[in-house]
Structure 1
Amino acid sequence: MNKCTLAVKMGLLIGAGALSSVVWADQAAEPAAKEQQVEVIQVKGIRASQQANLNAKRFSDSIVDVVTSEDIGKFPDKNVAESLSRITGVGVSREFGEGEKITIRGASSATNRTLLNGQTVATADWFILDNPGRSFNYTMLPSALVKDLEVYKSPVASIDEGSIGGTVVLKTRKPLEMEQNTINLLVEGQYSELSEETDPQLAGLYSWKNDEETFGALVSVFKQDRSLVREGFEVLGWPTNPDVDAKVPSHIGVPRFEQKRERETVFGSFQYRPTEALEMTLNLLSSKVDADNHNANLLLFVNNNVASLSDETYVNDSLVAGQVADGTVAYNFINRVASTETKSVDLDIKYDLGHSKLHVQVGSTDADGGTLRETSWEYGTTTDYDFDLRGSKPTVNTDTLGSDGAAFNAGWIWGGEKPTTDEEKYAQVDLEIPVDFGVFNQIKTGVKLRQAERTQDRIAYSWHGPETMDDPTDNYLNYIFRTCPNLSACGLTTGAVNVDGVVNGNLSQQVLHDRYRMEEIAFGSLNGVQADYARSQNLAEIWAVEEDITAFYVQGDFEGEGFRGNIGLRYVDTAQTSGGYEFSGDSWGLKTIDRVWLDPEYLAWVETDNDYKEALPSLNIAFDVAQDTILRVGAARVMARQDWNKISNSITYGSLNVAQPTGSASNPYLKPMLVDQFDVSYEWYFNPSSVLAATWFFKDVQSYTSFSTFVDQRYWEEGDEWVDVTFTRPENGPGGTTEGMELSYQQSFGQFGVMANYTYTDADRDEERNLDLPGSGLVEGTSQHMYNLTGYYEDDLFSARLMYNYRTEWYKGLHFNGSELWNDSYGQWDASFGYNLTENISLTLEAINLTDEEVREFNTDENRLFSLYQNGRRFVLGARMAF
């Protein structure tokens, strides 16, 4: 038995034994009512909001961090993920310059749950390279939607299972808790440095209740637009080339990504409280993000051109510089129509029976989205080129300039659809029974049913398919290329652009492609000839996973002289069914659905069942060491279910026109990750708005996800040949341990104040590190060091904050090509300023990413660069009105 398992079991046994002794010794003792201990704080301003945060943390029974609505409103954050990044132990990813996914205490985003008013929020990613997982995409939730958020780092039995790092509980506003006829308005303009565009951001809230305070209604509306431009440098893979016995860049490219992101969110809350005993709340949420985007990338096919390589430089057996004669250079233009939409309906009923309290909550949430239409154009040429990937800014030069559209000849066009859905229905019943049994003052018990389904569809477009032209010997793809033989023809480009933010050399000199002209030719017409293409199901990438969960829990809350806490058990039964297509290989894995063309001789939908049951005990004790000092101890077993795409019946692969193509396969038999954890926290509240705290945490992970590889053939249409593809498949592998320390400090000095926190995390796996087996021995999402620093000033008229958020490098999982992907250390400065014009109106100025930090990714060895992305600075000027 390892030390963490022993610590958890001993903690549970000692806690239960101690409580049992106190129960028999103090049968007649009257526990103090918690309601008498809770401090009531009116939240106004930065210092008061920090005091409210500490108040909630101080009187909790578990290890919890809290951010209130006032605090969220003062941060320069446009979604909840960025607000969470200020909390000790929480890291955030910013691939597109805005917080999207979080890690907690070294646990990846897929192994932490986010609950809205205690329930799941469905999510469907808009980006075509994202695989459906269990991580929540925070771009769906604007910060202003949330009243407060709580991060539970030590679990309690009454909160849903599914997290091994922490559970984020978001709480929305309720009309009966607000003043009658409350009106909040927000008008902002956001300027993005790279796009040079200013976009509107509007929010409004109205809350009403009757004089008797028996009925209330609240409506919030948010609209946030963002003109996004991301410039970058990419290496799309580092395969081992046998001809040079070294890792070689598969492609080198300089991409320019553009997107017009439009987010609209509507939230309504309706409360009915006819008596003091009965309260019903109906919450409705609809949030949609239109995320159409296009990407231009000028690519060098280095791994394909190794035979003509000269003047090479190798570092750690990796090719980092060289020259190529008559190499392949190609433009890849990708246009995507993409969106994601989430809806939730939640009914919450609370009824005080006198002798107990009944809670019933039922609802549903669903999301759909993804890339709804994609077309990718490739035009290429042959030329000499050289590259040097060393230094902070790589250098790439070509003899043929990328700004000369006439030099790039027609190559290929492909496209398709990748829509996804996410649905869940839930129903739970909870019962709180006050007791007078020694130190126990309340017993909580309940049952919850969840029915979820996650699906992915995949359609491939073929402009070279049959019947795309009146002449049966011709096709529309050939017609496009006859009519538009190079990039200077047919109005395919609109000028030139210099994509030099993160790269030196003339590869940065590129043409601007005309997205709308390409869309017109691909999906409309060209010179009067109607566009046509065959639509075929890509059978291996189509899947559906159903999941039925039944959970039962019992929890005892206790309180005595100088201590309080809870002990409980949650029992969970999970039944999964993964469905996908089984088919013969005679049609290249495709089934044409709009005409007679490709149809496998054998095709069947097959399903695989996977069931498991887990018992999850938990214990939390808070000791009042002194009037202002608390010592907390927590022990628990927690679990995290595997990502949806990992347990699906699917298999995907990347480009086949490269040497050593790669792909990914799923495994529907994966079991969940189980973790035994132990926490000790010391908190000193040396005045109402100040704290010094330290927390030690230890996690014994029973099984991490490992990966194995296999080789299978796939048909390459453009080359008309079968090629070997190396696939990576997930498996339940050996476990490991995660140990760490969190330190936090907060204090105000008159009108000034400071907040600081630091997290150290050491995560190890029992699996042996094997560089030939991607992902082996690595823990996803863990930065060894993370810290936040905030300084602020506030008086009656003016407020200001300066914030810095930093984390060291972390492993992000496997790249879409099957290689290990790491994110380099990242730190970001943000600032916010406020000026109170009147009691009801304030002006705000916010600055995001002040020092224009870049996102840098690499493949295990820092010399093997994967990408450099520049998202630029953003500035927001606005006015807030509250009546």
Structure 2
Amino acid sequence: MSKKFNKMPLKAKLKRISDPALYGAVGTLAAAMLAPVNSGYAQDAQVNAEIEEVVVYGTRGALRKALEVKRAANSVVDAISAEDIGKFPDKNLAEALQRVPGVTINRGFVGEGNEVSIRGVNPELTHTMMNGQFVASTEWFSLGANNRSFNMDLLPSELVSSIEVHKSPTASLDEGGVGGTVIVNTRRPLEATDALTVFASIETNSNSLADSDDTGIGATGYVSWKNDDSTFGVSGMVHSNEIVGRADKAENYWEESWSAIGLAEFRQNRERQTVDLTLEYAPTDEQSYTLEYLKTEIDAQNINQNFLVINASDITPSTSRVAPSAACCGRAEVLPLAGTVNAAANLAQDANARMPVMESDVLHFTGEYDGEGWTLSYELGKTTAEGGNGGNANALIGLGAFDATSGVTVDFDADLPQRIIANINGTSVANASGSTVLSMALAETVLEDEETYYQADLNFDVDWGVFNSVDVGVKLRDHAQEQNQFNSTVSLPEGATVASLGIGDGALNVDGDVCGGNACNYVRIDSGALHGAATSLAGAPQRVDNAFGRIEEDITAFYAQANFAGDSYRGNVGARYVQTDVTGTSAFNVVESDYSELLPSFNIAFDLSDDLLLRGSMARVMSRAGYSSLNPAFGAIANIQQTATQGNSAIEPFIADQADIGLEWYFGEGSLLSGSIFHKDIKSFITTTSEVRTLTLPGEPPLPYRTTIPVQGKGGDLTGFEVQFQKEFENGFGLIANYTYVDAEGELDDGTKVDLPGTSESAYNLSGYYENEKVSVRLAYTYRDAFLAEGTALGTALDSFEDQSFVDLSATYHITNNLDISFEGVNLTEEVTIQNFGSGLNSLRVASVNGARYFVKLAYRY
């Protein structure tokens, strides 16, 4: 590709491929609407052939164009892109990414994709940005960790033009991804095909576990305009949507010190409000400017009810409160997984109602000037976020303690493949008037996150043998993350029940796939009513000094990169130097630390023939520890279990050396067979240690809490390969498949070899599609095999997940040229995910069913 193309101004249709050498194509049907994608900030290669300004419509045309981009790339990058607004291949961004070769995802409370793992590396080591920059966000779950992952709920899919997955880095690419880097790109008005674009949609969604009348409603409006000369453009989006989320769980805590079983229902109707405004000005071919403002507010009100038999056993046979059944043969003396509970500290449901509202905003400015033989681009912006759990109202509801004199017993069996059976004898748990409220508490976590950034990049032409251009740049970032907790003492009236407090809302029924027996049916609690009751009965909030923490980072990065090209090869070589200064502040002390890293990289691509391409890369990469791991505050405080976490501000980053080599055969129009081998030598990991530390909460005496603290650990090795196949047929059908294999292990301080968290040995995708002028249909199957629960800890007794598979269907009917109706079904088989204890006992820890999700949308485009 010519230098002129690399410097093409924003008004050009293909500006977002400012360096096609950085971009590839999706090897999966999720990329069915692929189109050219945007680096927006990096120009690191020259390629041989011009790519004309072609507007591609339709699945097959978009996939063909994607293969052209992949073929022209230097580094290893895949991408997903929308052919047009409202045509992104999946509603959830993470679920779209799971169909990219080498990518697997983690699913959150309601089964939605929320974390991305690249080539078997823990998802916390995936660096995700929007338009090449960090976006501040917060966590709503009281026990959740605040890491550096991008919150995939922040952006509606209608705003996204493309997503890039960088599997090999360049010096000009921001550091932060040991696994890889994901960049989410939003729409730009000067890239629109038409001068005026109008889009409006209305949609509904439901969940198979929800009540039949519980439906989410959403609407989106988008307008983009540019003048006839394509020198000025403006676009705006207003979006509102409610997502119905459900999860039923069977939970086994027999291995914990507070031995128990739990039967849980989680309910959340998450509402998202988004406003985006983008201005572009390109007065000449030499200069262009972009200003974008994005604001997203998410109301994530939710309630989790968990019926528990708590402290039923001391695990020691002589003091056991459980009569084990024969089903526990050989294990009853250690872990009574089935039998009859004759006495327990509590027979009650643990209800937690949270009212979190999370706000994130971004103000981003970009300028670019093309001179004679050089290009200068600069970016500056600020992103902030506020959130937290909005106040966690906790109520313990039920019988309380029981023993042989009460006439109450519980027959249970937690030794089943995916279910827990529990029958309560001698009392009922389904009657609101008889459901005693034993205790109530109110605790609010407040989180703040912000970053200010400045960046300048200079590209200039050179004539140094094979080298034809050089990129240099600098980036400055100031980041701060703070957390606080405020507890309130709740005074209950004597004899309080669910009925007298007005917090009941009928009866729930935990799904039979994971729950059996009469304990599956108990009183449903209304989240708003519970939170309101706790607030009205609570005293003044008191700050928890132990839970205050602030982490500040000053980050300075410089890079230099030389780009080269010959008759049958192209590539780049460079290095990025990063200095990080860290200050951790708690209520009791201040800890300062710093570290620096030099990150070299090399990428090359060879055209072996007209249809065969060989590419390779080598690099050193890094990922900083998550904010919860760094923040010195106590977090994830669990009162019943008396457990907590605490950060360590002196933790250094994850470092890895990586290399890969791949071969691509373009054996026909729109057809590809490719394979690649990759290796990562991870120099350092973060592991954890556990110790008892004293924690004082307002209104309570100092208590010992088992506290998990991150510490520096050793590294590990990861080796694997990817295979990708894509074929279109003349009858409108198409097939895309990919497979990834990963062999990974870590090393503890004593030399013991252990599995790496978040790594599935095998993962594959199989997708088929059909399209004609009126209809487009896609059926996708996604599989990953067993893996340790995600987390940065190495060598701890982590839970393991069994293999998972999901079936998704999407279909669109073009009523007219401007009006579409579409249907999407996610997790049609209602997969039950199984989590087992990591101690080798091979016993159920958590079984979760999230139901199938259905979406219907009517969309108009002009």
TM-score, normalised to structure 2, is 0.88
The corresponding residue for 1:812 is: 789
Query: Do the aligned residues in 2 keep the contact of 1:56 with 1:66 (CA within 8 Å)?
Result: no
Partner residue, 2:291: 282
Alpha-carbon distance in 2 for matches of 1:481, 1:706: 46
Residue 424 of structure 2 corresponds to 398
How much has 1:722 moved relative to structure 2?
5.8
1:373 is displaced (CA, Å) by 1.6
* Structure 2 Cα separation of the partners of residues 80 and 783 of structure 1: 21
Q: Given the alignment of the two structures, is residue 781 of structure 1 paired with residue 795 of structure 2, yes or no?
A: no
Return the offset for 1:650: 2.1
Match of 2:40 in 1: none
Aligned with residue 350 of structure 1, among 368, 374, 385: 368
Does residue 387 (structure 1) correspond to residue 370 (structure 2)? The answer is no
Query: 1:41–1:810: structure 2 CA closer, same or farther, 3 Å change rule?
Result: farther
Residue equivalent to 2:8: none
The structure-2 alpha-carbon separation of the partners of 1:679 and 1:33, relative to structure 1 and needing over 3 Å to count, comes to: closer
Q: Aligned residue for 1:9?
A: none
Partners of 1:193 and 1:873 within 8 A in 2: yes
User: What amino acid is aligned across from residue 488 of structure 2 in structure 1?
Assistant: Y
Is residue 312–residue 322 contact of structure 2 (8 Å, CA) maintained in 1?
no
Q: 1:159 is paired with a residue of what secondary structure?
A: coil
- Change in 2 beyond 3 A, CA 1:310/1:581: same
2:705 counterpart residue number? 725
Corresponding residue for residue 684 of structure 2: 703
Deviates more, 1:620-629 or 1:536-545: 536-545
Counterpart AA for 2:272 = R
**CA deviations over 1:698-742 (Å, ceiling 9, x no partner):** 000111112222223446899x77654332221111111010111
Secondary structure of the structure 2 residue equivalent to 1:55? helix
The question of 1:131 aligning with 2:145 is answered: yes
State which drifts further: 450-459 or 196-205. Answer: 196-205
In the aligned structure 1, how far is the partner of 2:297 from the partner of 2:830? 29
State the shift of 1:276 in Å. Answer: 1.1
Retained in 2: the 8 A contact 1:692–1:745? yes
1:310 aligns with one of 323, 326, 335: 323
Question: Are the aligned partners of 1:228 and 1:261 in contact in 2 as well (CA < 8 Å)?
Answer: yes
1:819/1:37 Cα in 2 relative to 1: closer, same or farther (>3 Å)? same
Write the letter of the residue equivalent to 1:390. D
Cross-structure match for 1:48: 61
CA separation of 1:53/1:742 partners in 2, compared to 1, >3 Å: closer, same or farther?
A: same
Tell me how far 1:33 sits from its aligned partner. 6.4
Partner of 1:11: none
1:146 aligns with 2:160: yes
Distance in 1 separating the partners of 2:474 and 2:330:
58
* Number of the residue aligned with 1:629: 612
Structure 1 contact 620–634 (Cα < 8 Å) conserved: yes
The answer to whether the 8 A contact 1:237-1:819 is kept is no
Deviation sequence 1:459-489 (CA, Å, 0-9, x none) = 11112xxxxxxxxxxxxx1xx331x433343
After superposition, what is the alpha-carbon deviation per residue over 1:589-647, rounded to whole angstroms, capped at 9, x for unaligned? xxxxxxxxxxxxxxxxx211110010000000001011111111100000011111111
Residues 716, 657 of structure 1: alpha-carbon distance in 2 compared, 3 angstrom cutoff: farther
CA contact (8 A) 1:346 1:363 kept: yes
Aligned partner of 2:476 in structure 1 is 449
C-alpha displacement at 1:413, in angstroms?
1.2
Distance in 2 of aligned mates of 1:368 and 1:653? 18
The amino acid of 2:59's aligned partner reads I
Q: How far apart are the structure 2 equivalents of 1:140 and 1:855?
A: 25
Does the 8 A contact of 2:278 with 2:290 survive in 1? yes
The whole-number CA distance in structure 2 between the counterparts of 1:55 and 1:350 is 27
Q: Secondary structure at the match of 1:567?
A: strand
Within the candidate set 773, 778, 798, 1:796 is matched to: 773
Q: Is the 8 A contact 1:424 1:453 kept in 2?
A: yes
Q: Equivalent residue of 2:190, what SS?
A: helix
Distance 1:73 1:533, change over 3 A: same
Q: Distance in 2 between matches of 1:811 and 1:460?
A: 34
Q: Does 2:511 correspond to 1:500?
A: yes
Q: Give a deviation string over 1:170-202, Cα, whole Å, max 9, x none.
A: 222211121101112222221222223222222
Matched, 1:297 2:277: no
Identity %: 34
> Per the alignment, in what secondary structure is the counterpart of residue 802 of structure 1?
strand
Return the alpha-carbon distance in structure 2 between the equivalents of residues 702 and 363 of structure 1. 33
Alignment of 1:399-548 (within 5 A): 399=425, 400-463=427-490, 477=491, 480-482=492-494, 484-501=495-512, 502-524=514-536, 531-548=537-554
CA deviations 1:182-234 (Å, max 9, x no partner) are 11222222122222322222222211111222111011222221122222212
Match of 1:275, SS state, is coil
Q: Distance in 2 between matches of 1:41 and 1:330?
A: 64
Q: Is the CA contact (8 Å cut-off) linking 1:581 and 1:649 kept in structure 2?
A: no
Partner residue of 1:874? 853
Which amino acid letter does the alignment assign opposite residue 473 of structure 2? G
Q: What is the deviation of 1:368?
A: 1.2
CA contact (8 A) 1:656 1:723 kept: no
Contact 1:739 1:761 survives alignment (8 Å) = yes
Please state how far the C-alpha of 1:753 moved relative to its aligned partner: 0.4
**2:630 corresponds to 1:616:** no
- Alignment check: 8 A CA contact 1:336 1:371 kept: yes
Cα distance in 2, alignment partners of residues 104 and 489 from structure 1: 52
Distance 1:830 1:35 in 2: 39
Q: Is the CA contact (8 Å cut-off) linking 2:354 and 2:527 kept in structure 1?
A: no
User: 1:768, CA displacement in angstroms?
Assistant: 6.5
User: Deviation digits for residues 681-703 of structure 1, max 9, x if unmatched?
Assistant: 11111123111111110000111
Query: Would you say the 8 A contact 1:336–1:373 is kept in 2?
Result: yes
CA distance in 2, matches of 1:797, 1:157: 45
| Gap change, CA 1:236 and 1:293, over 3 Å in 2 | farther
Equivalent pair of 1:315/1:863 in contact (CA under 8 Å): no
2:546 match: secondary structure: helix
Deviation at 1:73? 5.1
Alpha-carbon distance in structure 2 between the residues aligned to 1:497 and 1:815: 36
Local SS of the residue matching 1:52: helix
Distance in 2 between the 1:152 and 1:742 partners?
Answer: 15
The whole-number CA distance in structure 2 between the counterparts of 1:225 and 1:402 is: 32
CA distance 1:481–1:410, change in 2 (3 Å): farther
Q: Distance in 2 between matches of 1:801 and 1:227?
A: 23
Residue 245 of structure 1 corresponds to which residue in structure 2? none
Q: Does 1:666 align with 2:647?
A: yes
The equivalences for 1:669-748 within 5 A come to 669-714=650-695, 723-748=703-728
1:304, CA displacement in angstroms? Answer: 4.8
Q: Deviations over 1:627-677 (max 9, x none)?
A: 11111110000001111111111234644555xx43323211111111000
Aligned-residue offset at 1:236: 4.5
**Distance of aligned partners of 1:721 and 1:185 in 2 relative to their CA distance in 1, 3 Å threshold:** closer
1:394-421 deviation digits (Å, cap 9, x = unpaired): 2111112221345543422111111211
For the 8 Å contact 2:684–2:714, the answer to whether it is kept is yes
Are the counterparts in 2 of residues 32 and 560 from structure 1 also a CA contact under 8 Å?
no
**In structure 2, the residue corresponding to 1:70 is in which secondary structure?**
coil
* Contact 2:85 2:159 (8 Å CA) reproduced: no
TM-score normalised to structure 1 length: 0.86
What residue ranges of structure 1 are gaps of 5+ in the alignment? Answer: 1-30, 242-248, 464-476, 525-530, 583-605
Larger deviation, residues 823-832 vs 317-326 = 317-326
**How well do the aligned residues superpose, as a CA RMSD in angstroms?**
2.4
Equivalent AA in structure 2 for residue 505 of structure 1: G
Is 1:562–2:568 an aligned residue pair?
yes
CA distance in 2, matches of 1:76, 1:224: 18
Which string of whole-angstrom CA distances, capped at 9 and with x for unpartnered residues, describes residues 371-410 of structure 1? Answer: 1222111123223112111223221111122213455434
CA distance in 2, matches of 1:414, 1:853: 35
Distance 1:449 1:673, change over 3 A: same
1:210 aligns with 2:187: no
Aligned residues of 1:223 and 1:263 also touching (Cα < 8 A): yes
Q: Give the 5 Å matches for 1:198-277.
A: 198-236=215-253, 238-239=255-256, 250-277=259-286
| CA deviation after TM superposition for structure 1 residue 874, in Å | 1.6
Shift in Å, 1:105: 0.9
Q: Is the 8 A contact 1:390 1:863 kept in 2?
A: no
Moved more, 42-51 or 307-316: 307-316
- Indicate conservation of the 8 Å contact 2:785/2:804, yes or no: yes
Partner of 2:378: 360
Deviation at 1:37, TM superposition (A): 3.1
